[in-house]
Amino acid sequence: MPEPLLVVKDVQKHFGGVHAIRGCSFQVAGKSITGLVGPNGCGKTTMFNLVTGTFRPDSGAIVFAGRDVAGLRPHVMARLGVARTFQLTRVFKSMSILQNMLTVPSEQPAGERTRWAAEVLDAVGLAGQPETTAGNLSFGDQKLLEFARIFMLRPKLVLLDEIFAGISPALQERQMNVIRDFQTRFGVTFLVVDHTMRVIMNLCQEVLVMNQGQILARGTPAEVSHDQRVIEAYLGHRTTTKGGDNRGA
């Protein structure tokens, strides 16, 4: 098995009386595409917030590239190479597409950054009018822009929170291709949260199943989807094959 890029060990997180993460442990292999699935409210987004430094874990360790990063500020995590998208899309609405991309700090010279921005925009299919104001884009295009923007960080690890929800299968296909492409060309590691099982099955080499703040099962998509515990966890929650729609944050 390849070196794990991210190791989460026995992490706990409370919100007042809510025990959101209950001793969660898992590993994400470097240069892999790993899925993270689980019923609504099981703690996937909270786990992302812990890994990216938005929240500090109550206890437990978060090790990224061999370094304990628990509690580091989000901007530090970003500089270390951990990028994330938000479940509710957060583009800078009054700025143009290109400005959204160029806002991201980097050590690269300006010319190189602009070229890279163009390349990424082209890959996701937003190269058309870089001067368009982001707020005027369709919902799907805003999601694409947020997705594209994180690659300006030249990240090592990318956390994607339901970027496939509510967009057309054609666009989903395109995003999947971009993910695979960045994985093979640049060795980027992806941790993908989604309720769209078709995407998870197609895209991921390994799937982690979360339930009530813990990892319940892990394995290949085929193994996991036949695991009795997983099916039980989902029972009564939702059908596992349908695309995600109107869920709360």
Partner 1 sequence: MKNSKFLRLAPWVVALVALLVVPFTASGYITALFLSLLMYVTLAYGWNIISGYTGYVSFGQVAFFGVGGYTCAILAKGGVHWLVGSLVGGLVAGLLAILLGLVMLRLKGAYFAVGMLGLTQLFVALAGALKRVTNGSTGIFLPPSLTLVPVYLTMLGLALAAIIGTIFLHRSAFGLRLMAIREDEEAAESLGIHTTVYKIIAFSISAVIVAIAGGVMTWYVSFIDPQSAFPASLNLTMVIMAVFGGPGTVWGPLVGATSLGLIAELLWARYPGLYLVIYGIILLLIILYIPRGVVPSLGDFLRRRGEPVRKRRSGAVA
> For residues 70 and 111, what is the distance between their CA atoms, to the nearest angstrom?
35
Q: Which of 46, 89, 196, 225 binds ligand ATP (CB under 6 A)?
A: 46
Q: Which of 20, 28, 33, 134 binds ligand ATP (CB under 6 A)?
A: 20
Find where tokens 């609405």 sit: 93
> For residues 207 and 95, what is the distance between their CA atoms, to the nearest angstrom?
36
Q: Which of 6, 102, 193, 203 binds partner 1 (CB under 8 A)?
A: 102
Q: How far is the CB of 45 from Mg ion (least distance, A)?
A: 3
- Taking CB under 5 A as the rule, does residue 196 contact Mg ion? no
Q: Which of 4, 35, 43, 57 binds ligand ATP (CB under 6 A)?
A: 43
- Taking CB under 8 A as the rule, does residue 78 contact partner 1? yes
- Taking CB under 8 A as the rule, does residue 115 contact partner 1? no
Task: From 85, 215, 81, select the one nearest 163 (Cα to Cα).
Answer: 85
> For residues 202 and 198, what is the distance between their CA atoms, to the nearest angstrom?
6
Q: Which of 12, 54, 132, 205 binds partner 1 (CB under 8 A)?
A: 54
By rule CB under 6 A, what count of residues binds ligand ATP? 13
Q: At 110, which helix (H) or strand (E)?
A: helix 110-124
- Taking CB under 5 A as the rule, does residue 46 contact Mg ion? no
CB 85 within 8 A of CB 147: yes
Q: Which of 32, 34, 45, 196 binds ligand ATP (CB under 6 A)?
A: 45
Q: How far is the CB of 42 from Mg ion (least distance, A)?
A: 9
Length of the chain: 249
- Taking CB under 5 A as the rule, does residue 52 contact Mg ion? no
Give the one entry of ligand ATP, partner 1, Mg ion, none that residue 54 binds, where binding means its C-beta sits below a cut-off of 5 to 8 angstroms depending on kind.
partner 1
Kindly identify the residues of this chain, within the stretch 64-103, that bind ligand ATP according to CB under 6 A. 87
- Taking CB under 8 A as the rule, does residue 84 contact partner 1? yes
- Taking CB under 8 A as the rule, does residue 234 contact partner 1? no
> For residues 142 and 138, what is the distance between their CA atoms, to the nearest angstrom?
6
- Taking CB under 8 A as the rule, does residue 87 contact partner 1? no
Binding residues vs ligand ATP (CB under 6 A): 15, 18, 20, 38, 40-46, 87, 247
